[in-house]
Amino acid sequence: MFPKLSRHEIDSNLHQGTMIRLKGRLSSSPNAFQRLLKGDFTQRFGRFLWFRQMYSTIQNLRQRLDGSLQKSAIDLAIPSMFGNLSTDSFVREVEDRSIAFGLHLPESIVNECLQYATQTICTEPGYDRTFLISDLDERGYLPDGHQPIRALVSDVEKCSSISNLSRDSVLLKIARNYLRYLPTQITCHLTWSLAWNRSDDRLQKLYPPTNFHYDIAGYNFVTAYFYITPVLDDRSGPHVTILGSHKRKPMEILLKSGRQTDEAIYRYYDRSSELYVYGDAGFGFFEDPSCIHKVKAPTRCHRLLLQFRFS
């Protein structure tokens, strides 16, 4: 059995946790300059490539001058389950295209993550009750009549496989070489994107990640993703990315909200740069999430995604 908090304990902390997740979010003001003036320092400037590169240079110098930082990070790492993977080619791919492929989890790890996500309490932003995936009926509704769109699995660090993966030496090496400093913060997320059969317009209002967007999640960051359920077609929730957009954004998109309409994106980027990412259970990839990307909402089955953000 996995250790987990009771529903009462989760419910009592839900509001506080939501406030932490929302803290510093960009203002929704229609005025671009007001958006830049509001929110924390990270979100005002983390969107700019030059700023992320400057931060990497400063962190690299700081860590070189303080050897204890590097030693503590190395001590935390554990042997990799990915063998002799060429991390250099991974880094080059992310640098050039914003995304790189070649990771795959063993079946035993996939099964443990899936079991944990099935047995553990979930939350949905904006909904004040917790639930289990098994609480959903065949139409995707909870007993109180609510139809959630996504489910955030609680306390993911209590899953031993996820905890070990967050310290995997190959993942840490890829992140370090891409960021050009040892990441000092690693966050883990295990998220269900739930099958939805309503209009795209309504879905995009209720589930922001289904809109094209770029992340502003720190001074600099890179993310590893793993499909825990198979994503083999458009109906099972593929990740969609605009290749190279981590380095190439027009000023209008940089100054506006990170969330963009399909029409706005296709005005600036050729459709040939749009990539749908498919893979079986365990399929993984690295991405610089400052690129423009989205999830195509699943309609056939629920999608479970494991995510590690290094910053």
φ, ψ for residue 121 (rounded to 5)?
A: -60, 140
Residue 126 lies in a domain: yes
Residue indicated by tokens 């909200």: 257
The residue among 245, 311, 307 whose CA lies nearest residue 117 is 307
Sheet holding 222-227, edge to edge: 99-104, 283-287, 222-227, 303-310, 186-193, 150-153, 122-124, 127-131
Share of the chain above pLDDT 70, in %: 82
Residue 46 lies in a domain: yes
Q: Please, which residues have CB within 8 angstroms of residue 296's CB and are 6 or more apart in sequence? A: 210, 234, 237, 238, 239, 240, 276
Write down the pLDDT at residue 23: 38
Write down the pLDDT at residue 77: 76
Residue 98 lies in a domain: yes
Residue 182 lies in a domain: yes
Please, is 65 exposed, middle or buried when counting C-beta atoms within 10 Å of its C-beta (0-12, 13-18, 19+)?
exposed
Residue 203 lies in a domain: yes
Write down the pLDDT at residue 54: 93
pLDDT in tens, 233-283: 999 999 999 999 999 999 888 887 788 889 999 999 999 999 999 999 999
Domain at 21, CATH number: 2.60.120.620
Partners of residue 304 on adjacent β-strands: 192
The Cα 286–Cα 87 span in angstroms is 11
Q: Is the pLDDT of residue 44 over 90?
A: no
DSSP 112: H
Residue 239 lies in a domain: yes
Range of the structural domain that residue 31 is part of: 7-310
Residues in the chain: 311
Residue 1 lies in a domain: no
Q: Are 238 and 296 in contact, with CB atoms under 8 Å apart?
A: yes
Write down the pLDDT at residue 26: 39
Write down the pLDDT at residue 40: 59
**Domain count of the chain?**
1
Residue 51 lies in a domain: yes
The Cα 295–Cα 238 span in angstroms is 6
Q: Is the pLDDT of residue 5 over 50?
A: no
